Structure 1
Amino acid sequence: TVIIALLALAVPQIPFLTMMGISAALTVFIAILIAVIVTPAVLMLIGKKITPPVDRKKTLAEKVTDRVKFSGKLLQGWAKVLNKIPVLIATLTIAFLAITAIPIFHMELGLPDDSVYEEGTPQRDAYDLLKEGYGEGVHASLVVVAEATEKDGEVLSKLEQLQADILAMDHVDLITNVIPKESGEMAVLTLNPTNGPSDQETIELVHELRNAKFDGVKLNVTGNTAMYIDISERLSDALPVFASIIVVLAFIIFMIAFRSILVPLKAVLGFVLSLGATLGFVTWVVQDGNFYELFGFVTTSPVLSFLPIIATGILFGLAMDYEVFLVSRMREEFAHSGNARKAVMAGVRDSGGVVVAAALIMVAVFGGFMFSSDPMTKIIGLTLTFGVIFDAFVVRMMMVPAVMMLLGKSAWYMPKWLDRILPNVDMEGEEVLKMVEKEKVKKNK
């Protein structure tokens, strides 16, 4: 699932995202090969030497670990709570995630400018000086290339009227430079909007210039501002396709692995809720300006344009890992006992500690990004930190087991015709255990 999510970063067809996804997916693939091939081989070579003597005294580190481990009585107690009030927990968690996700519906994507840096930094001082001297639009400069639409047409004779028509458009401050081509069929105009690069008025102006119709002249708009707007719009359009691809493929993989329809459906729907809550929370803080100073931001800004895509890829991989940790233990217990509630409690008790520990590690890593002085790094850190918190602690440790309790045995339902079609993947190693038992029987004989 992690490799699928990373390779899907190629969907927007933006070079830096594609290379990021391919290189990260390759790294994960190499890590899988090491874990599956190299690690077992090394363990086989070391043999019994890897385990300490049974009769020795425990070290101080082992004693501390025994006291703070995330299993045993603590998670056993939480499993009992889930068993008593699954309806309440499922309702509260779903409602919390849904309400937290509401701000996502007015999320604005863009690339923050230098106004998001702290006062006194070189970036902010330069930004303020230019804004004071030339207006806010100096930071959103647009390059307009006017070219003749006819084969032997020319632009020079129409430049004066063209400039007048452009200045008459809404949200245009001034034209700063005009460079005509000597042959006459093209001219380059540089203009400043009245607003900043991420403002809606500037975005509307870019589209208006591109759609404008002049006699014998076509306008092409470029420059950093136009490029950032194009990237943001392409990423926004690609996000539903990107999310659909990884969700559908993950659903199929989980359906094959867990031999169930409802378990993978619950897994992907839980991720959709946690992702929505994450992006909604980030929008509420960074864009809407609620408690933004508490998280170290100087001012409000649009949400980083490529953040939803990157967050979806990274958080999806982590979320599915947490799901596998929990549900694989539940399935193992259900296969042996046939008791659905007992299976859920066993999953929370035995694998919940792994989820909690893994999530705390990622929270510590991503939380470190929030101490960066760079606003873009800070936004990424905020998103990934709360993404892990929402998914691991709210979805996987609360909503998932509560819903599994309510579903009971129906959670493991798989139509017989579909079970025959799908390949059988032995995730829990049941076939291996059967082979070991057979070998033991043969030896005893």
Structure 2
Amino acid sequence: MALRIEAGRIADLDLEACVVALFLYRLGRLAFRRRWYVVLIWGAVLAVAGLAAGAATGLPSDTKSTPGGDSARVVFIAPAGQKVTDAGNRAAIEGFVAEVSRGSQVASAASPFASRAVSRDESVAYVVVGYAGGSDELTEDTRNQLRAAIDRAETSGLTVEVGGPVLADKPKVGGASELVAVALAAVILVVTFGSLVAAGLPLLTALLGVGISTLTILAVGDAFGLSTTTTVLASMLGLAVGIDYALFVVSRYREERAKGRPAQEAVGLAVGTAGSAVVFAGLTVVITLAGLTVLGIPSAGKMGLAAAGAVVVAVFIALTLVPALLGFWPDAVLSRRVRNGRSEEETENRGTRWARLVLRRPLPVLLATIAALVVLAIPVLDLQLGAPGDESRSTATTERRAYDALATAFGPGFNGPLTIVVDTAGVSDPKAVVATIAARIAETPGVVSVSPPRFDPARSTALFMATPSTAPASQQTKDLVHLIRDNRAVTEAGTGATFLVAGVTAADIDLADQVMGALGPYLAIVLSLAFLLLLTIFRSPIVPLEAVFGFLLSTGAALGAVVAVFQWGWGAELIGLQQTGPIISMMPVVLVGIIFGLAMDYEVFFVSRMREAHSSGESASESVVTGFRHSARIVVAAALIMVAVFSGFVGADLPMITMIGFALAVAVLLDAFVVRMTLVPALLKLTGEIAWSLPRRLDRILPQVDVEGAALRDRVPKVVETTMGVGA
């Protein structure tokens, strides 16, 4: 393609408005020219990450561990009409204890007949096999020894089930559902672009980004305590935003080429305009995810930082590798229509027709949209936070069957005992004092039994177990923990000792309380950040207000859907959910951070085009239509891709990932199609010209930000003569 371009230099641009866009414009052109170097650099990064991951020891387990070592709770169930105390069954159980006790990594294994671990009807007994290390440290020989001992015990006719992490299967984090998600994303890209190369490029770069971020997490995971859940969350988010960010850049490149620009110039403009929006969107996601570190919840902070790292990788790939790959296939990514020399500019499409439909009846549309989202959010009023245990597993697993057998034989609270730690330092008669405290706690409504206390060698600390009458994740158990703590002064009165309520059950309750306390302040920070960022970008207080309002509605509706499905069980069978229960404690804050970033993506890509049209002289209504004409198709494709990717992770064998995948799929669906494509245009129609106005005092204070590089695009040299051919 031979071209003659008007004289002019990019250096005389309004740097205050588009310094970032100018830098990205030059970066895109450089990556296009030095494409082999860019590809080699990213290949080297992938190789280094792979070598580092291969040398690492692996990720810590997601299962809960007891300090000092993990344990297996082996449950023996007598055949119908028999008892575990019958001679043959008793001999088999004693033989099991003797066999496992010989293991080199076994720290303890006591006979249930000596430790009073037999149910009242003598139908069930259990043995706690304690190990000197965590489940990640146990050798395969140790596990095989336990399996062999179980097999021998079962030859007597006993049913044997095993609870705990020792023999638990590794979580399934990949499979057919994820492959289907990627395939759906590919189909959406092909339909959107009408070109296999254009569709394959975002997939290729996104998968590379996920590979780099995942391998990096595996390399540093053990040192920083990153779990499998953390890795999958980062991969899920990295794949979704990686495809979307590349999609926006490739789409803008095709648009600039359709206007007759040469390939290198089109790449520069694509990275300088769409790339600017990608930088803003990625930065927003990174800030909100990294902000999880200030909540004081280490696991949430680690998840946030890992996911933020995956987003950073996706942004850099979109700004460098995507333009480099476009240099290899400058014309192949174009539609057949453009390659044949015909214009692809549309004056009317589905986006404009939808916008005009909304604008004709803005008030009814607005009220109906708000009402629907509020109804979906109603279940949030019953939100209960907790931590899933073996009760959340499939009944096909031995861990779930062991849990159910113990709950039936010993009561629902048996699987979640409370650990009472008594400080007896300075007490003259520690044994009597601990007995007094244990007796008073045993009298607390909701406590069915307390175990005999155990003392440390110095007799300065004692502990015993208090068994609730209700299940570990129930609201009644939570109320019981608070009641014991509230009555602590009365219980301790006259003893001279103090005590604390600890253990896994109490820790889960404390985490849920901490999250509920942090959710409000974190949401306030996120909303304030959203308002300030959008106020600066769009120079209008109305646009940020409607964006924040829509974000609240879509987030509330997504959380409501999570409660309805995972807590109430509505439609649970449709996603293969085996057991309902409380919502995982960290899920709401992680969800808020991710949804915020994704919602701002669509807000920027939609409204920036509307603002650009309004600044060019169009009316408030027509600027909305123009924004939809340019952005609707790409935003719809991006949203559908994200929904497909997130839905693909609903089948993961990790409760946290299952919930977040479902919640994000619902949130993106609602935010993109209901909020950004319906509620926002209705609000902008009702507010009219006021939506694009800014008080003069604020106008002087706010910095100039050109997030889509409009100043760059307007000032770039114009093409005045075009001859079709090959134009790189």
TM-score by length of 1: 0.89
1:75 aligns with 351
Report the 3-state secondary structure (helix = DSSP H, G, I; strand = E; otherwise coil) of the residue aligned with 2:453.
Answer: strand
Q: Map of 1:40-439 to 2, 5 A cutoff?
A: 42=324, 46=327, 50-52=330-332, 73-148=349-424, 151=426, 155-211=430-486, 212-213=488-489, 214=492, 215=494, 216-436=496-716
State the AA in 2 paired with 1:420: R
Preserved CA contact (<8 Å) 2:473 2:582: yes
Q: Decide whether aligned partners of structure 1 residues 194 and 255 sit closer, same or farther in structure 2, where only a CA change above 3 A counts.
A: same
CA distance in 1, matches of 2:314, 2:657: 26
Preserved CA contact (<8 Å) 1:289 1:300: yes
RMSD of aligned residue pairs (Cα, Å):
2.7
Name whichever of 95-104 and 278-287 sits farther off.
Answer: 278-287
Report the 3-state secondary structure (helix = DSSP H, G, I; strand = E; otherwise coil) of the residue aligned with 2:526.
Answer: helix
Name structure 2 gaps, 5 residues minimum: 1-283, 721-728
CA distance in 2, matches of 1:373, 1:34: 30
CA distance in 2, matches of 1:95, 1:349: 27
1:443 aligns with none
CA distance in 2, matches of 1:383, 1:432: 38
State the AA in 1 paired with 2:446: H
Name whichever of 203-212 and 398-407 sits farther off.
Answer: 203-212
Please report how far the alpha carbon of residue 113 of structure 1 lies from its aligned counterpart in structure 2 after TM superposition.
2.7
Matched, 1:9 2:292: yes
2:304 aligns with 21
Report the 3-state secondary structure (helix = DSSP H, G, I; strand = E; otherwise coil) of the residue aligned with 1:17.
Answer: helix
CA distance in 2, matches of 1:276, 1:57: 43
Preserved CA contact (<8 Å) 2:420 2:465: yes
Preserved CA contact (<8 Å) 1:179 1:189: yes
Name structure 1 gaps, 5 residues minimum: 60-65, 441-445
State the AA in 1 paired with 2:297: I
Please report how far the alpha carbon of residue 151 of structure 1 lies from its aligned counterpart in structure 2 after TM superposition.
4.7
Please report how far the alpha carbon of residue 256 of structure 1 lies from its aligned counterpart in structure 2 after TM superposition.
0.8
Q: Decide whether aligned partners of structure 1 residues 337 and 17 sit closer, same or farther in structure 2, where only a CA change above 3 A counts.
A: same
CA distance in 1, matches of 2:680, 2:715: 33
Name whichever of 13-22 and 89-98 sits farther off.
Answer: 13-22
CA distance in 2, matches of 1:298, 1:33: 40
CA distance in 2, matches of 1:388, 1:54: 28
Please report how far the alpha carbon of residue 143 of structure 1 lies from its aligned counterpart in structure 2 after TM superposition.
0.9
CA distance in 1, matches of 2:557, 2:550: 11
Preserved CA contact (<8 Å) 2:427 2:497: no
Please report how far the alpha carbon of residue 304 of structure 1 lies from its aligned counterpart in structure 2 after TM superposition.
1.4
Preserved CA contact (<8 Å) 1:367 1:381: yes
Please report how far the alpha carbon of residue 111 of structure 1 lies from its aligned counterpart in structure 2 after TM superposition.
1.2
Q: Decide whether aligned partners of structure 1 residues 438 and 375 sit closer, same or farther in structure 2, where only a CA change above 3 A counts.
A: closer
Identity %: 39
Please report how far the alpha carbon of residue 367 of structure 1 lies from its aligned counterpart in structure 2 after TM superposition.
0.9
State the AA in 1 paired with 2:474: D
CA distance in 1, matches of 2:695, 2:428: 68
State the AA in 2 paired with 1:139: N
Please report how far the alpha carbon of residue 411 of structure 1 lies from its aligned counterpart in structure 2 after TM superposition.
0.6
CA distance in 2, matches of 1:155, 1:71: 86
CA distance in 1, matches of 2:367, 2:708: 31
State the AA in 2 paired with 1:170: P
State the AA in 1 paired with 2:535: M
Report the 3-state secondary structure (helix = DSSP H, G, I; strand = E; otherwise coil) of the residue aligned with 2:451.
Answer: strand
Q: Decide whether aligned partners of structure 1 residues 253 and 118 sit closer, same or farther in structure 2, where only a CA change above 3 A counts.
A: same
CA distance in 2, matches of 1:55, 1:375: 42
TM-score by length of 2: 0.55
CA distance in 1, matches of 2:334, 2:507: 65
Preserved CA contact (<8 Å) 1:147 1:218: yes
Q: Decide whether aligned partners of structure 1 residues 159 and 434 sit closer, same or farther in structure 2, where only a CA change above 3 A counts.
A: closer
CA distance in 2, matches of 1:347, 1:55: 22
Preserved CA contact (<8 Å) 1:147 1:155: no
Name whichever of 20-29 and 10-19 sits farther off.
Answer: 20-29
Q: Decide whether aligned partners of structure 1 residues 153 and 360 sit closer, same or farther in structure 2, where only a CA change above 3 A counts.
A: farther
CA distance in 1, matches of 2:391, 2:412: 10
Please report how far the alpha carbon of residue 200 of structure 1 lies from its aligned counterpart in structure 2 after TM superposition.
1.6
Report the 3-state secondary structure (helix = DSSP H, G, I; strand = E; otherwise coil) of the residue aligned with 1:427.
Answer: coil
State the AA in 2 paired with 1:248: S
Please report how far the alpha carbon of residue 432 of structure 1 lies from its aligned counterpart in structure 2 after TM superposition.
2.1
State the AA in 2 paired with 1:274: S
CA distance in 2, matches of 1:195, 1:52: 64
Q: Decide whether aligned partners of structure 1 residues 57 and 27 sit closer, same or farther in structure 2, where only a CA change above 3 A counts.
A: closer
Please report how far the alpha carbon of residue 55 of structure 1 lies from its aligned counterpart in structure 2 after TM superposition.
12
CA distance in 2, matches of 1:377, 1:438: 49
Task: Please identify the structure whose Cα radius of gyration is greater.
Answer: 2
Report the 3-state secondary structure (helix = DSSP H, G, I; strand = E; otherwise coil) of the residue aligned with 1:101.
Answer: helix
Name whichever of 157-166 and 70-79 sits farther off.
Answer: 70-79
Q: Deviations over 1:193-218 (max 9, x none)?
A: 11111112211222222331212121
Please report how far the alpha carbon of residue 235 of structure 1 lies from its aligned counterpart in structure 2 after TM superposition.
0.9
Please report how far the alpha carbon of residue 38 of structure 1 lies from its aligned counterpart in structure 2 after TM superposition.
5.9
CA distance in 2, matches of 1:132, 1:43: 61
Please report how far the alpha carbon of residue 220 of structure 1 lies from its aligned counterpart in structure 2 after TM superposition.
0.7
Please report how far the alpha carbon of residue 403 of structure 1 lies from its aligned counterpart in structure 2 after TM superposition.
1.0
Q: Decide whether aligned partners of structure 1 residues 144 and 404 sit closer, same or farther in structure 2, where only a CA change above 3 A counts.
A: same
Please report how far the alpha carbon of residue 437 of structure 1 lies from its aligned counterpart in structure 2 after TM superposition.
5.3
Aligned length: 427
Q: Deviations over 1:312-338 (max 9, x none)?
A: 111111111011110011011111123
CA distance in 2, matches of 1:19, 1:251: 26
Please report how far the alpha carbon of residue 161 of structure 1 lies from its aligned counterpart in structure 2 after TM superposition.
2.0
Preserved CA contact (<8 Å) 1:101 1:276: yes
Q: Decide whether aligned partners of structure 1 residues 292 and 27 sit closer, same or farther in structure 2, where only a CA change above 3 A counts.
A: closer
Preserved CA contact (<8 Å) 1:93 1:394: yes
1:63 aligns with none
Report the 3-state secondary structure (helix = DSSP H, G, I; strand = E; otherwise coil) of the residue aligned with 1:385.
Answer: helix
Preserved CA contact (<8 Å) 1:177 1:191: no
Q: Decide whether aligned partners of structure 1 residues 256 and 181 sit closer, same or farther in structure 2, where only a CA change above 3 A counts.
A: same
CA distance in 2, matches of 1:341, 1:191: 66
Q: Decide whether aligned partners of structure 1 residues 410 and 54 sit closer, same or farther in structure 2, where only a CA change above 3 A counts.
A: closer
Q: Decide whether aligned partners of structure 1 residues 17 and 340 sit closer, same or farther in structure 2, where only a CA change above 3 A counts.
A: same
Q: Deviations over 1:140-197 (max 9, x none)?
A: 111110113x756553221222221111001111113410233333211112111111
